[in-house]
Structure 1
Amino acid sequence: MLSKGTRNQYFATICANLSTLIYGLSVGWLSPNLELLLSDATPLSSGVISSSEAGWIGSIGTVGCVVAVLICGWVAEMVGRKAALVLIGVTQLASWVVVLFASDLTMIYAFRILGGFAGGGTFSIVPMFVSEISEDRIRGTLGAILSITCNLGILIGFILCYYLDYYTVTYIALAFCILFSVGCMFLPESPQYLITKEKKERAIESLCFYRGEDDQESSKFLSELARFKDTQSSATKDSNGRVQLHIKDLLSKPTLKGILICVIVMMFHPMSGSVPLITFTDSIFRESGSDLPPATCAMIVAAIQLVGSYVSSVTVDKAGRKVLLITSALGCAICSATMGTYTFLNVVGVDLTYFKWIPVTTLSGLVFITAIGIAIVPFIIMPEILDPRVRGFVITWCLLEFHAVAFMVVKLFPTVVEKFGLYSVMWFFSCCCVAAATFVIFYVPETKGKSFEEITESLDSEKKNVPKRTSLDV
């Protein structure tokens, strides 16, 4: 049976990740509804949209993501992680209200930008919040819930949009938004954040909740408080005692190496090919020559992606982050190469009658293997290897990079496929995945079950053993 503290950590993590489920729902909404908006049955009074406009609908959400990373990151640092989560909930609620009353393309763009804002905020704040409330032994498992809820939302979005009408789906999404916004109000703030703001009493209360500790004098409890206090006391402060980021905080060897790792691993997911796959699921399966209906293929892919994220959650604290990243990257390379080869043979006229199962199998394999590693592990690693003093700043810029690359990939995907063929694009993604696996093998440290001090040691071969404190005068 789970301890009280563990139950509280799971509860807070699931509650925070309702925002991720709602974002996944908006992603799942996109593929089937793009086909609806392109058809004569469009719900827009302005009429049928063009293929170019459909491309903008698919990619414009990243504009909101970029804005969210800056705004939500600032709110999280100045007001708190909890306030940033509430902001995300309000934005998600507004986005679905907009789509409920959408009558023209401009309102659909607004829905996508607001939804992108909520998504960018979610992937910026939730991993940070979860990392700060988690114990080392279950930090990876709790971090992987982000992927489970996102993929569950995508699957729910596909199912609802294919079997329910346009407006019913919107009402269901609004109900999820209200549930998330209310739930966030009852979560205690991150104890690590409270310590940085020198709110010691509230930090102790918060840590008691997340650890289920009744004895505030236990060595384990005091040791964890000591770690938070050490980080806060060494930070640069202004004349008013507020923590400031100084250039010297970024120049130590472990910090520089951690930043480099974050910058590179955040490109793994958008460059694996899974992002445009989910965005343009219907058209990709038609292009590949699969006999299965696009709706069926989309739901199969989403379900398999959900299974992959679950596998990641139960293995990330056992197999380790590095193993999952390498396995995932190499698996994606094989799947992309296979899909590219099949599409090429189909284009040149080779008889593939007995191999019609390959598109759905390889693309399902791609999203599954992506989900167990490169789709989620980078978000787990980032808060683990970054010094808390620079964590918010570096994560903000890494997420800006992530969304910029995702935007370019999604926006250029239809154009490049039309000009060079789907097979060329899939082969390119395969090469990117091989490069990703190579980088992980030689440069990414294992962080499974390690404290920040132990991870810092692994990033700095010249660093001496870090003494562990067991008490703190509070």
Structure 2
Amino acid sequence: MSDDSSRRTTRQPVSLNEDTIKASPPPVAILPARSSRSPVTSPARITTSRPGKPSQPSDPTPGHPSDPKNKHQNRNAPTAGSSTLRMNLATLIYGLSIGWLSPNLVLMASDDTPLTTGKITSEQQGTIGSIGTIGCMLAPLVCGWVAEIAGRKSALMMIGVTQLISWAVMPFATNLNVIYASRIFGGFAGGGTLSIVPLFVSEISEDRIRGTLGTMLAILCNSGILLGFIISHYINCWAVTYLALLMCVVYSLGCCFLPESPQYLFVKKKKEKAIKALRFYRGEEAESETSQFTAEVARFKDIHTAGNPKKKESNQIHIKDFLTRSRWKPILICVVVILFQAGSGSIPLMTYTATIFQESHSNLSPAMSSIVVAALQLIGSYVSTVTVEKAGRRVLLLISTLGCAVCTTTMGTYTFLQEMQVDVGCFRWVPVASMSALVFINAIGIGIVPFIIMTEILDPKIRGPIVTFCLLEFSGVAFLVVRYFPVAVEQLGMYACMWFFSCCCVASATFVLTCMPETKGKSFEQISESLNGSGGKKSASHKDVAPTPV
């Protein structure tokens, strides 16, 4: 017994970490810890060790996973994740509408068309395909206004009602006018989804998981597209309609029980409701008051009151709010990135996928080709989800834009040689391979990351209006590109269009490399500091004070 006691006494000072030695005098750190099993009342952190076992802190340091103050961080991911999944059911439904369109256009153009007016012409096909963007252009204006006046949750509920109307009329669609109306409502719901869901997700998620949750939009949308293709091919086109109606009901019920965005409630000076909502999205207990939760509440309040004392009294948006350097630079980045996204070529190429595969004389049928492309797009979205918080936003955008430039250049060169009547018979696989690679690479970065960045770098006060404007810009450019792509191919040639898209991708990569900051794992304050050229040391010190556990 004496030998063992002596052995433990001599080993004890070795097991003390530096923090313990600094925080407590030697007599308190050694004698009470070994003389009794009673709880230690000293504020010092005392570390004990036994032979063969690593030392364990009796009072975990802040940031340690076993610290009760940080358990809410471990609960945050599933709480915020399940809420994000509920919101993104709207994205899944929008994906179903995209997957429904392609096979139904083929059906309505065939002799077996369900329309009483007979099979549709190629011009009517183009109208059906592009008319949804009209609703998509209106959605950011209407949904953005509702989100600012009535709240983000109200905008989500309005999207659900619009989707329900869009799908409810489809079983009774026997003429083109009903289909046109359905597509406009569906486009409105899609535009509202792309504008409100990323905004809501960015406002409820922590910095460390914000990017991962943001990419769920692409995963659910591409899952809906793939599901629509598969059901239409193996069952029938109308089965998609009934599935979408069921999903609309589930989505609306799920959103009913979501609290409002905490940031929005802080803006509206509803502090008690804001704190209650933040507890829900952070997985906090009702009576919990952790230091990190309190700090986050204070940070939300500072975001909406710092800089101008009058903001505490009024949250009205004025023109001057958009003209300060700290705000117009992020606005410019958002506008340019969204413009380059629409000009990357993925939208028209996805719209005319079947035509491209047919021209390449592929052995796959148009339906199977669509399924393959949708599957690759979904895989790319998953890769983006896994890597967005590891590689960062800028890296994914650079890889994606440069990869899309290579793919469009390859397709343009192939069609140019074909136009020059060069024998390319042994390279007929090039369009299929290039198209598949383009869809995959696009989904990794340029297809979704701009929507994440858009909600990260904008000041919360002007975020709603600017997101609305950017989505309006995206819808307008997408409409023009999709509507006039066939005309440009006929007048200029496919190769000219492909090379134009390639130039847009190179310009986008250059802009990202020179002008865009990395936002991975950063708070809004840190992002603002990096944009204004004052972020380096201050951001680093901020991280040292409040480390984020993995």
Query: TM-score, normalization: structure 2?
Result: 0.82
5 Å-filtered alignment, 1:167-246, equals 167-214=238-285, 216-234=288-306, 243-246=315-318
Residue by residue, what CA displacement relative to the aligned partner does 1:207-240 show, whole Å, maximum 9, x if unpaired? 1111112254322111111111112224889999
- Give SS of 1:340's match: helix
Measured after TM superposition, the shift of residue 289 of structure 1 is 3.8
User: 1:323 — aligned with what?
Assistant: 395
Match of 1:298 among 351, 370, 388: 370
User: 1:24 — aligned with what?
Assistant: 95
Residues 237/149 of structure 1: CA separation in 2 closer, same or farther (3 Å cut) = farther
Letter in 2 for 1:403: S
- Whether 2:471 is the aligned partner of 1:411: answer no
**Residues 360 and 428 in structure 2, CA contact (< 8 A), matched pair in contact too:** no
Once residues 339 and 86 of structure 2 are traced to their aligned partners in structure 1, the CA distance between those partners, rounded to angstroms, is 28
Considering Cα pairs closer than 8 Å and 6+ residues apart, tell me whether 1 or 2 has the greater RCO. Answer: 1
- Whether 2:501 is the aligned partner of 1:391: answer no
- Whether 2:348 is the aligned partner of 1:276: answer yes
User: 2:359 — aligned with what?
Assistant: 287
Letter in 2 for 1:176: M
Once residues 461 and 128 of structure 1 are traced to their aligned partners in structure 2, the CA distance between those partners, rounded to angstroms, is 26
- Give SS of 2:91's match: helix
5 Å-filtered alignment, 1:110-125, equals 110-125=181-196
Once residues 6 and 294 of structure 1 are traced to their aligned partners in structure 2, the CA distance between those partners, rounded to angstroms, is 40
Residue by residue, what CA displacement relative to the aligned partner does 1:114-141 show, whole Å, maximum 9, x if unpaired? 1100000000000000000000001000
**Residues 222 and 374 in structure 2, CA contact (< 8 A), matched pair in contact too:** yes
Residues 51/443 of structure 1: CA separation in 2 closer, same or farther (3 Å cut) = same
Once residues 383 and 422 of structure 2 are traced to their aligned partners in structure 1, the CA distance between those partners, rounded to angstroms, is 37
5 Å-filtered alignment, 1:94-173, equals 94-173=165-244
User: 1:443 — aligned with what?
Assistant: 515
Residue by residue, what CA displacement relative to the aligned partner does 1:61-87 show, whole Å, maximum 9, x if unpaired? 111011110111111111111111111
**Residues 109 and 120 in structure 2, CA contact (< 8 A), matched pair in contact too:** yes
- Whether 2:409 is the aligned partner of 1:337: answer yes
- Give SS of 2:414's match: helix
- Whether 2:138 is the aligned partner of 1:67: answer yes
Once residues 77 and 483 of structure 2 are traced to their aligned partners in structure 1, the CA distance between those partners, rounded to angstroms, is 42
Once residues 160 and 350 of structure 1 are traced to their aligned partners in structure 2, the CA distance between those partners, rounded to angstroms, is 40
**Residues 259 and 394 in structure 1, CA contact (< 8 A), matched pair in contact too:** yes
Measured after TM superposition, the shift of residue 288 of structure 1 is 3.8
Unaligned 5+ residue runs, structure 1?
A: none
- Give SS of 2:486's match: helix
Measured after TM superposition, the shift of residue 280 of structure 1 is 1.9
**Residues 76 and 125 in structure 1, CA contact (< 8 A), matched pair in contact too:** yes
Unaligned 5+ residue runs, structure 2?
A: 1-64, 66-72
Letter in 1 for 2:174: S
Once residues 289 and 341 of structure 1 are traced to their aligned partners in structure 2, the CA distance between those partners, rounded to angstroms, is 18
Measured after TM superposition, the shift of residue 290 of structure 1 is 3.2
Once residues 339 and 265 of structure 2 are traced to their aligned partners in structure 1, the CA distance between those partners, rounded to angstroms, is 32
Letter in 1 for 2:477: V
**Residues 236 and 244 in structure 1, CA contact (< 8 A), matched pair in contact too:** no
**Residues 360 and 429 in structure 2, CA contact (< 8 A), matched pair in contact too:** no
Task: State which drifts further: 26-35 or 302-311.
Answer: 26-35
Letter in 1 for 2:107: L
Letter in 1 for 2:449: V
Letter in 1 for 2:143: C
Letter in 1 for 2:194: F
Measured after TM superposition, the shift of residue 339 of structure 1 is 1.2
User: 1:379 — aligned with what?
Assistant: 451
User: 2:163 — aligned with what?
Assistant: 92
Once residues 107 and 236 of structure 1 are traced to their aligned partners in structure 2, the CA distance between those partners, rounded to angstroms, is 51
User: 1:456 — aligned with what?
Assistant: 528
**What fraction of aligned residue pairs are identical, expressed as a percent?**
59
Query: TM-score, normalization: structure 1?
Result: 0.95
Once residues 411 and 219 of structure 2 are traced to their aligned partners in structure 1, the CA distance between those partners, rounded to angstroms, is 25
**Residues 305 and 371 in structure 1, CA contact (< 8 A), matched pair in contact too:** yes
Counting matched residue pairs gives 471
- Give SS of 1:243's match: coil
Match of 1:57 among 128, 137, 145: 128
Query: What's the RMSD between the two structures over aligned residues?
Result: 2.2
User: 1:5 — aligned with what?
Assistant: 76
Residues 43/144 of structure 1: CA separation in 2 closer, same or farther (3 Å cut) = same
**Residues 291 and 356 in structure 1, CA contact (< 8 A), matched pair in contact too:** no
Task: State which drifts further: 219-228 or 117-126.
Answer: 219-228
- Whether 2:147 is the aligned partner of 1:76: answer yes
Letter in 2 for 1:430: S
Measured after TM superposition, the shift of residue 436 of structure 1 is 0.5
Letter in 2 for 1:28: G
Match of 1:43 among 114, 123, 138: 114
**Residues 96 and 240 in structure 2, CA contact (< 8 A), matched pair in contact too:** no
Measured after TM superposition, the shift of residue 381 of structure 1 is 0.3
Once residues 443 and 352 of structure 2 are traced to their aligned partners in structure 1, the CA distance between those partners, rounded to angstroms, is 18
Once residues 146 and 360 of structure 2 are traced to their aligned partners in structure 1, the CA distance between those partners, rounded to angstroms, is 44
Measured after TM superposition, the shift of residue 260 of structure 1 is 0.4
Letter in 2 for 1:437: A
Measured after TM superposition, the shift of residue 326 of structure 1 is 0.7
Residue by residue, what CA displacement relative to the aligned partner does 1:257-280 show, whole Å, maximum 9, x if unpaired? 100000000022221111112222
- Give SS of 2:343's match: helix
